[in-house]
Chain A
Amino acid sequence: MRFFFNRGNGLGVGTVAALLIIWELYGRIHPTVYVPAFSTVFVTFIHEWFSPTFGQQAVPSLGRMIIGYTCASCIGIAIGIFIGTFKRLYQLLDPVLQFWRAIPATAIIPVGILLIGIGDPMKWVVIAFGSIWPILINTADGARLVPTERLDTARIFGLSPLETLVRVIVPSAAPMIAAGMRTGLSIAFIMIVVSEMIGSTDGLGYYILQAQRTFAIPEMYGGIALLAILGYLLNTLFVWCEHKVLAWHYGQTTRPA
């Protein structure tokens, strides 16, 4: 984030303003169904999303995503630590994990629909399934590659295996886990939109596809904009939490500005 928000914001704001003005003028001079004026989209956005529609469409999406992603994180981290701690196990499972990871996550949505139906549980499962692999594999790598000095030091201080796990392995793996969880979050977001487009009767993915099919074009643009804003907020929230939780890590390592 800091990479982008620094000096020279005037030019950036100017370009954005110029583009919005061009969009508005284009929409007014060339009134087509496909490109409504920016003001129309903006008014529709306010009208749609500051109303019960938000509760009917956006809240179910977010709820499914939170459930699926939380499951993926908990299971992924637990299994990842377990696999990463035992090197033999890691070697044994590596091809199986790589196989599952290689399959594009969205391709398993039809399987989910077949096995579970098109209700909420299907979405929880496919979201969890899609986002678990980067979390699991990153955690396993993080736990596997704990510097030997740290493990040796733990042994010298007579830490029990459980203490070693909680106080040495988990903190050492934490930066890798966070990186995996960040990748997992963006996959979870894609999975929720796609699963709602393919098999759902509510949610944001359903909403924008339905808006397009019924030629409610300003609503479609508004839905995409809401998805963008939610994606941006989720990512920012995640980075903020990561910096709070891993402050010690960024203090230890010299971080490029």
Chain B
Amino acid sequence: MQKKSSPVNWSGFGFFLVCVGIVEILARKGLLTSYVPPPSEIFSALWTGLINGDISSQIGVTLSVYVRGLFLATTSAIFIGILMGTYKPVFDSLKIIVEFLRPVPSVAIIPLAILFFGLGPTMRISVITYAAFWPLLINTIYGVRAIDPQALDVARNFGITGGEALWRVTLPSALAGITTGFRVSATIALVVTITTELIAGNNGVGFYISQMEQANRLPPMYAAIILTGIMGYLLNTFYFALERRFVFWTPAARDRVT
């Protein structure tokens, strides 16, 4: 990484504010189309939406679906990934299926999910799980395969085998790959959550965006779009902090220290 002269990129944030200011002036002077409201109106819409519950009630819905989908994907992908990484026959029997299902764009299975689960949260959870499953699975397999054979040999010398070796050697080493995969999966999961709500939801932030678009209420629509960006940013920061705190032995963490 590049060494930064100051920990906070003041000039960058200053420039960001200048851009917002320019858009504000242009929009107020009516030089942009009527479809671009001034940023101040968007932020006040965001603020009122958060206070009176119009937007904030949708955040809860979106997050609950997102968390459930991501949780299902994480647990199943780690489980299957460790099996596939550890046992060659399991890997051999599943690899062709993985290789053919992985490139299916997750949004393409939305119609299928609607068919089976209707428009409720279950449909969204199933699509999120499907989408978030693959990066985590691949990274878990890579993580398990990248284990230093010496570590397993040492464990065997100390009489640690089977389930205990899995828990004390395989899983901690594979966590390097698993956390990488998790970050990718978490980003995809949020995008897919918003997308399914947009296409076929009956609540949630994505649904709110499409509602406001159809009602031609633009400031709340832009406010909700910006909110999705803020949510993504905060979730990423949260995962990064968790990773630093709990997965401190991986090469990525070591790089950060030294």
Q: How large is the interface on A (under 10, 10 to 19, 20 to 34, 35 or more residues)?
A: 35 or more
Q: Interface code A221-244, partner B: CB below 8 Å = 1, 0 otherwise?
A: 101100110011001000000000
Q: Are B94 and A109 in contact (CB under 8 A)?
A: no
| Among B13, B95, B97, B103, contact of A19 (Cβ-Cβ < 8 Å) | B97
Give A95 to B99 CA distance when docked, in angstroms: 37
Chain B proximity mask over A122-148: 1 for CB below 8 Å, otherwise 0 = 000000000000000000000011000
Closest residue of A by beta carbon distance from B187: A104
- Residues on the A chain within 8 Å of B36, using CB: 115
Q: Is B100 a contact of A228 with CB atoms below 8 Å?
A: yes
Given known A-B contacts A15-B94, A144-B2, A208-B111, A8 and B88 have beta carbons under 8 A apart: yes
- Chain A CB within 8 A of B154 CB: no
| Interface flag for A171 (CB, 8 Å) | no
Q: Which residues of B contact A205 (CB under 8 A)?
A: 107-108
How many residue pairs bridge A and B at CB < 8 Å? Answer: 166
Is there an interface contact between A103 and B232, defined as CB atoms closer than 8 Å? yes
The stretch among A43-51, A149-157, A162-170, A191-199 that forms the contact with chain B is A191-199
Q: Which residues of A lie under 8 Å from residue B101 when comparing CB positions?
A: 228
Task: Please encode chain B, from 96 to 130, with 1 for each CB lying within 8 Å of some chain A CB and 0 for all others.
Answer: 11111101111111111011100000000000000
> Is A251 close to B, CB under 8 A?
no
Tell me whether B16 and A99 are in contact (CB under 8 A): yes
The residues of A that contact B198 with a CB separation of less than 8 Å are 106-107, 109-110, 194, 198
Task: Decide: B96 and A9 in contact? CB cutoff 8 A.
Answer: yes
Q: What bracket does the count of chain B residues touching chain A fall in?
A: 35 or more
Query: Across the interface, which residues of B come within 8 angstroms of A87, CB to CB?
Result: 2
B176 at the interface (CB under 8 A from A): no
Interface string of A6-28 (1 = CB under 8 A from B): 00111111111001000000000
A186 and B11 alpha carbons, distance in the complex (Å): 33
Contacting residues of chain B (170-200) with chain A, CB-CB under 8 angstroms: 190-191, 194-195, 198-199
- Please encode chain B, from 195 to 230, with 1 for each CB lying within 8 Å of some chain A CB and 0 for all others: 100110000001001100100001001101110111
Binds B, one of A66-74, A174-182, A209-217: A209-217
Known contacts A91-B9, A94-B9, A115-B33; is-contact A211 B97 (Cβ 8 Å): no
CB-defined contacts of A193 to chain B, threshold 8 Å: 105, 107-108
Task: Give A19 to B5 CA distance when docked, in angstroms.
Answer: 58
B93 proximal to A (CB < 8 A): yes
Q: Is there an interface contact between A105 and B191, defined as CB atoms closer than 8 Å?
A: yes
Contact B13 A95 (CB under 8 A): yes
Q: Does A62 contact B (CB under 8 A)?
A: no
Tell me which of A110, A209, A227 has the highest count of chain B C-beta atoms within 10 A of its own C-beta: A110
Contact A232 B100 (CB under 8 A): yes
Nearest B-chain residue to A101, judged by Cβ = B229
A202 to B: closest C-beta gap in Å = 16
User: Which one of B16, B103, B221 lies within 8 Å of A231 (CB-CB)?
Assistant: B103
Is there contact, CB below 8 Å, between A102 and B229? yes
Give 13 A-B contacts (CB < 8 Å), ordered by A residue. Answer: A12-B94, A15-B97, A91-B4, A92-B12, A106-B194, A110-B210, A110-B225, A190-B195, A220-B111, A224-B108, A228-B108, A232-B100, A232-B103
Chain B residues engaging chain A, CB cutoff 8 angstroms: 2, 4, 9, 11-13, 15-16, 19, 33, 35-36, 88-89, 91-101, 103-112, 114-116, 190-191, 194-195, 198-199, 206, 209-210, 213, 218, 221-222, 224-226, 228-230, 232-233
